[in-house]
Chains A and B, each alone.
Chain A
């Protein structure tokens, strides 16, 4: 059997909005708007240039069931380019773009194979009279898929590489098994050579060799969540003598997200903080080539600078200063925001022993820490004005966890204590 290679990508989320970003510069806004589409163009270019036998897309091509027209047409254009290059595309739909979603495209080019829902289909890839591989796949009919679809897969053809194409969550936490939860053992039982998975945005090779279980991650980072940081792209899989030899990660992203953290505990002044940020930035600049870098700075830790950082304008000025440093530099660098998650040098145990107002404050807060129901009621009471202001039409508070409530309480307590102690000085 001749050697060949194929490209495995997933979670394209075409034309998806970037979440959790503060107001950005107009130039960057435009870049972000088109980033997912340009990343897809890069993927198509990669597939053509690497002379891949086929391209596998493991779900979440679009970001929502109500797919954007621009995204669909751009995707169609990419498929046409691959058709002209004689490259087949096999794809499944995931929870973000189930088959029930709206489609502006009625007729796909003949090189595109979309796996249907309800049953696993197999598609042989034949070139020069030789079956290079057989792709097995199944799509989501609806956004939610609690069934373990991996159990439906079984190898039928002996010839060529057997590849499973699935949008599934191989690391689902208890209570969150909404996207075809499965385990590595479930995937191994199918007897495949390679599992081309999608859904997790963090690139990872769950298992190397017989079978390979691979998540390529999403094609373009979308936020400052840990899973969205760093290089994003697709895997170029090299097959030799009917066996997967190695995986070559190829970045396709256009904008890269990085979260830089600086601890103030050993910092003398804000100039030190700025220098630390810039040092970290310098090491990042050469990693991404010409890609734009979107940076969020987080200042954390406990130290003397905490009181300075509580002034809102300090952070804004620091961000402005960092942005001015990056102005006109290549690659394009944008400091999205600089946030302070610092704490004052408060000794809570000592305060609790003092028996004064601060100690009483700690006592009151502890009452809420021990009673989550009371804590939720306290927060709900506090949110009364926000309810009137229609804040919750835009923010979802129902998903707020107990841990988040506790973090809110802790922040409020620290703020109150710091103000008290500051007044005392």
Chain B
């Protein structure tokens, strides 16, 4: 790639500065100081790679206006790329591809071989200051870019891959910073800590069990202690509780002693008296009740007796019996009109059926109708015979009609054929055959004639061609003979000349050769004279042609005969023959058609005769069948007359006629049955009515008959009312009888109660006397004393019972009584307080133990049921798996990075010598004192070896020599980059100023050599440098910047 031109829109001192047609070799830009050389250098850098970065960077803003930037024309093998960069525009960069389309930054990247601004500035486009800056050349980054250029064509690929891998790995693992792996490890450590805790917990499980057991035992001991203390306290509390009952017991005992003796059985007497009193009161109550009930019964009895009618009670059985059939009677009364309607309908139906059957039959003579079953089979036979005959007659008739139709068709066909035959011409087949033979003969002869004429023509043309060829041959042979004779004459002259020089060795062969050639020429002439133009071949050809002519004549003769046969004029051509042949073919087709029609007519006539016979046979069969049918119909009519069937009955209706007769008989029978039933109903209704009337009269009941209603029907409600009245009287009678019996029972009861009351009074008097009381007041006094004694005794027993219960039974009672009798109440209270205090202490301790046990139990249960350990183990495994995955990913990337780094080191070490060799070649030619440039072992530091094989480092060289060294090294690097990636222009700004004249001259030669492979743009402000270049490289283009500037101003 080289720069073919540019346009500066506005950059530093330049505005609208165009440059075109730059050479792909060496271009020298000459200009005084401040002419804009450095500006141009920076312009090139800026357009290709963008402006320099940094606060203090000089971006060369346009001093004379215009947009900040411009465009470069980059020429490649594919065409011209236009790269335009206007700073401040969005986007600043625009690229136009050779085909005219817009390119991208990536296209520029590829075009520049992946070089960046830094690489371009340090290797390709530099000024004097940068030339002497060793750091730029030594920078690892620069070197890496140069030497890794061959990796992929991009200068920084290997480094960028390493950076990418490192960046990707930074997300996984970063020392002293958060990353995925470190996070996983932290989490794993946390989980491991938790796991350790849980495992410790589980290892303590047996201890936990032991602790739980110990707690349980301690609790048991405490419970026992508490129980004992509770017992003591309970004992003391009991003594204190019993003290009051004990005191009451003692008081009650003392009072009992004071009361003295009281009759023991007074309490029983009291009870007895009370019981007797209760019994007396009960008897008095019963007596009152009996009296009241008796009075009510008497009142009701008198009322009942006034309502009772005995005769109705007696009629009840008969009425009930008769009323049972009342519903039946009502049903009969309802059925009677229905029955009448039924008889009427049946009679009507019978009349209609008889009318339909012919009108000759009546209800009276229906029974004489023929039996259906007896004649049914016979009727079917008739039906079958007559039906079959009818079918046969119709079939035969249809057959005869079909035969007649076919006969007519056949006769019609014969007539058609005859007419067609009459229209066709008479038969001429013999003449036709003869004419066809003549046509065939004419065609064969004409074909033969045509072939013969073609052969004759061919032979004639062949002969003409042969003659022309022979003429050519004769003239050629004549020329050849003449040439031989001329050559012989020349040889003779030569022989004579040689003879004159006495050179016989050569003159003799010349004479001999001349003689031979002369003789040969004479012989050829003689032969030509002897033979004619065509020779024997011509004669044979003529003979052949005469034979052909004879054959042609014979063929023409055969054609003439054929034309005569066909009665055509001589000379008639193929067209006439074709027309005749067409006519013959038409005649032949007509003849064939006539023959076919004749054959068909014969066949058709035969067929017609056969069909006529078939028709006659069919007609005869029809006649015979019709006669038979007539006979059978006459017999059928006779049979119907015998059976009395109507004449209108057709054979196929015989079954229906028999069914009608059967229906007539059924209807007549139904009418008889209905009439009989109606009569029975009338009789039963009359019987029931008679009995009912009789009963009603006996009961004295009347039965009103409503107007327009049936009197028989009016009896039924009257009977039902009678029944109801009879039933009521029966109930009244029964009630009257039971009331009378109850009256008697009341009297007996009252008497019994009066007897019991007298007995009770007597018994009460005897009981009071038994207690020593003469009166009821004395008895009550005694009773009061007795009751007080009983109360005291009850108190004593209750207290004793309380004390006994508290003491725990009769066995412990005496001890308890003894303790109570001791009377140490204050001491008991003090002991109780002490015991209760101890119980509280024990309780507290027990609760504490209980809580401890609960906690231990809970802990144990938690441990037993906890899935936390499993969860943690699973989580640890998950984390470990994630860590393994991430670590593996990280490790693979690190290994990949290390492999690339190692390869890069090796690559640089192995490839750098080529650069140094190239640089050494230039350097030794520029500075002959030094032989070569070498690389230190570590691959970084450089040195030069002089003629005495002494090594010098760059810092030991003079400034000029060092600059020459660095310039040569750049030549090597530029060449290496071009070899690996692409060729970029070398732009140098006044780099030769520190070179002496000799070295500058040699440098100019080197530049000329390099410019054959590489475009060079050299900026200089020294006219001497320009002269040097002009001398060393005559085809170098020199551009004076001031002139260009003037051109620009002018434009």
Q: Is B578 an interface residue (CB 8 A)?
A: no
In chain A, residues 270-310, which have Cβ atoms closer than 8 Å to a Cβ of chain B?
none
- Looking at A84-92, A166-174, A232-240, A413-421, the stretch in contact with chain B turns out to be A413-421
With both beta carbons as reference points, the residue of chain B lying nearest to A14 in the complex is identified as B870
B contact residues around A416 at 8 Å (CB): 161, 896-897, 899-900
Q: Is A125 an interface residue (CB 8 A)?
A: no
With A390-B185, A394-B188, A416-B900: A19-B881 Cβ-Cβ less than 8 Å: yes
Given the complex of chains A and B, what is the CA–CA distance between A70 and B198 in angstroms?
Answer: 12
B contact residues around A22 at 8 Å (CB): 878, 881-882, 885
Write the A51-75 contact mask toward B (1 if CB under 8 angstroms, else 0): 0000000000000001011100100
Given the complex of chains A and B, what is the CA–CA distance between A33 and B877 in angstroms?
Answer: 11
In chain B, residues 937-996, which have Cβ atoms closer than 8 Å to a Cβ of chain A?
none
Pairwise interchain contact B877-A20, C-beta atoms closer than 8 A: yes
CB distance from B385 to the nearest CB of A (A): 80
Q: Is B148 an interface residue (CB 8 A)?
A: yes
Pairwise interchain contact A17-B896, C-beta atoms closer than 8 A: no
B contact residues around A16 at 8 Å (CB): 873
Q: Is B603 an interface residue (CB 8 A)?
A: no
Given the complex of chains A and B, what is the CA–CA distance between A389 and B875 in angstroms?
Answer: 20
Given the complex of chains A and B, what is the CA–CA distance between A385 and B160 in angstroms?
Answer: 21
Write the A388-425 contact mask toward B (1 if CB under 8 angstroms, else 0): 11110111000000000000110111011001110110
Q: Is A119 an interface residue (CB 8 A)?
A: no
- Residue B876 contacts which of A17, A70, A378 (CB distance < 8 angstroms)? A17
With both beta carbons as reference points, the residue of chain B lying nearest to A355 in the complex is identified as B150
Pairwise interchain contact B898-A378, C-beta atoms closer than 8 A: yes
Pairwise interchain contact B881-A389, C-beta atoms closer than 8 A: no
Write the B880-903 contact mask toward A (1 if CB under 8 angstroms, else 0): 111111011011111111111011
Pairwise interchain contact A361-B900, C-beta atoms closer than 8 A: yes
B contact residues around A378 at 8 Å (CB): 895, 898
Q: Is B863 an interface residue (CB 8 A)?
A: yes
Pairwise interchain contact B893-A415, C-beta atoms closer than 8 A: yes
Pairwise interchain contact B887-A423, C-beta atoms closer than 8 A: no
CB distance from B328 to the nearest CB of A (A): 78
With A70-B867, A383-B891, A416-B900: A395-B880 Cβ-Cβ less than 8 Å: yes
Q: Is B925 an interface residue (CB 8 A)?
A: no
Pairwise interchain contact B173-A415, C-beta atoms closer than 8 A: no
Q: Is B907 an interface residue (CB 8 A)?
A: yes
Q: Is A102 an interface residue (CB 8 A)?
A: yes
Pairwise interchain contact B891-A69, C-beta atoms closer than 8 A: no
Pairwise interchain contact A17-B874, C-beta atoms closer than 8 A: yes
Pairwise interchain contact B892-A412, C-beta atoms closer than 8 A: yes
Q: Is B734 an interface residue (CB 8 A)?
A: no
Q: Is A325 an interface residue (CB 8 A)?
A: no
- Residue A17 contacts which of B199, B870, B897 (CB distance < 8 angstroms)? B870
Q: Is B1045 an interface residue (CB 8 A)?
A: no
With A17-B870, A394-B880: A423-B157 Cβ-Cβ less than 8 Å: yes
With A33-B867, A69-B202, A416-B900: A408-B895 Cβ-Cβ less than 8 Å: yes
Given the complex of chains A and B, what is the CA–CA distance between A383 and B888 in angstroms?
Answer: 10
Pairwise interchain contact B894-A423, C-beta atoms closer than 8 A: no
Pairwise interchain contact B205-A104, C-beta atoms closer than 8 A: yes
A contact residues around B876 at 8 Å (CB): 17
Given the complex of chains A and B, what is the CA–CA distance between A361 and B151 in angstroms?
Answer: 10
Pairwise interchain contact A19-B906, C-beta atoms closer than 8 A: no
Write the B555-590 contact mask toward A (1 if CB under 8 angstroms, else 0): 000000000000000000000000000000000000
A contact residues around B152 at 8 Å (CB): 357, 420-421, 423-424
**Tier of interface size on chain B:** 35 or more
CB distance from B113 to the nearest CB of A (A): 12
A contact residues around B890 at 8 Å (CB): 386
Pairwise interchain contact B175-A389, C-beta atoms closer than 8 A: yes
Pick from B203, B888, B903 the residue with the most CB of A within 10 Å: B903
Pairwise interchain contact B206-A104, C-beta atoms closer than 8 A: yes
Pairwise interchain contact A391-B864, C-beta atoms closer than 8 A: no
Pairwise interchain contact A70-B866, C-beta atoms closer than 8 A: yes
CB distance from A384 to the nearest CB of B (A): 9
With both beta carbons as reference points, the residue of chain B lying nearest to A19 in the complex is identified as B877
Given the complex of chains A and B, what is the CA–CA distance between A312 and B152 in angstroms?
Answer: 25
Q: Is B165 an interface residue (CB 8 A)?
A: yes
Given the complex of chains A and B, what is the CA–CA distance between A361 and B148 in angstroms?
Answer: 12
With A32-B874, A364-B902: A389-B894 Cβ-Cβ less than 8 Å: no
Pairwise interchain contact A17-B881, C-beta atoms closer than 8 A: no
Q: Is A23 an interface residue (CB 8 A)?
A: yes
With A379-B895, A423-B161, A424-B153: A102-B882 Cβ-Cβ less than 8 Å: no
Q: Is A2 an interface residue (CB 8 A)?
A: no
Pairwise interchain contact B173-A389, C-beta atoms closer than 8 A: yes
With both beta carbons as reference points, the residue of chain A lying nearest to B872 in the complex is identified as A17
Given the complex of chains A and B, what is the CA–CA distance between A24 and B877 in angstroms?
Answer: 11
Pairwise interchain contact A33-B874, C-beta atoms closer than 8 A: yes
Pairwise interchain contact A423-B154, C-beta atoms closer than 8 A: yes
Given the complex of chains A and B, what is the CA–CA distance between A34 and B874 in angstroms?
Answer: 10
Given the complex of chains A and B, what is the CA–CA distance between A381 and B158 in angstroms?
Answer: 21
With A23-B882, A24-B878, A424-B154: A69-B863 Cβ-Cβ less than 8 Å: yes
B contact residues around A412 at 8 Å (CB): 892-896, 898-899
B contact residues around A393 at 8 Å (CB): 185
With both beta carbons as reference points, the residue of chain A lying nearest to B148 in the complex is identified as A357
Pairwise interchain contact A424-B870, C-beta atoms closer than 8 A: no
Given the complex of chains A and B, what is the CA–CA distance between A386 and B182 in angstroms?
Answer: 9
CB distance from B992 to the nearest CB of A (A): 36
Pairwise interchain contact B884-A395, C-beta atoms closer than 8 A: yes
Pairwise interchain contact B906-A20, C-beta atoms closer than 8 A: no
Q: Is A185 an interface residue (CB 8 A)?
A: no
Given the complex of chains A and B, what is the CA–CA distance between A388 and B870 in angstroms?
Answer: 30
A contact residues around B870 at 8 Å (CB): 15, 17, 33-34, 68, 70
Pick from B165, B879, B897, B900 the residue with the most CB of A within 10 Å: B900
Given the complex of chains A and B, what is the CA–CA distance between A26 and B903 in angstroms?
Answer: 47
CB distance from B932 to the nearest CB of A (A): 26
Q: Is A18 an interface residue (CB 8 A)?
A: yes
Pairwise interchain contact A364-B906, C-beta atoms closer than 8 A: yes
Given contacts A70-B869, A364-B906, 6 further A-B contacts (CB under 8 A): A70-B867, A382-B895, A385-B173, A385-B894, A394-B880, A412-B894
The 7 A-B residue pairs with the shortest CB-CB distance, nearest first, are: A424-B152, A412-B895, A357-B151, A17-B873, A416-B896, A423-B157, A412-B896
For this complex, 23 residue pairs linking A to B, each with C-beta atoms less than 8 Å apart, are A15-B869, A17-B877, A33-B870, A33-B874, A68-B202, A69-B863, A104-B202, A356-B150, A357-B157, A363-B903, A364-B903, A365-B899, A386-B181, A390-B185, A391-B883, A394-B185, A394-B879, A394-B880, A415-B896, A416-B896, A420-B157, A420-B158, A421-B152
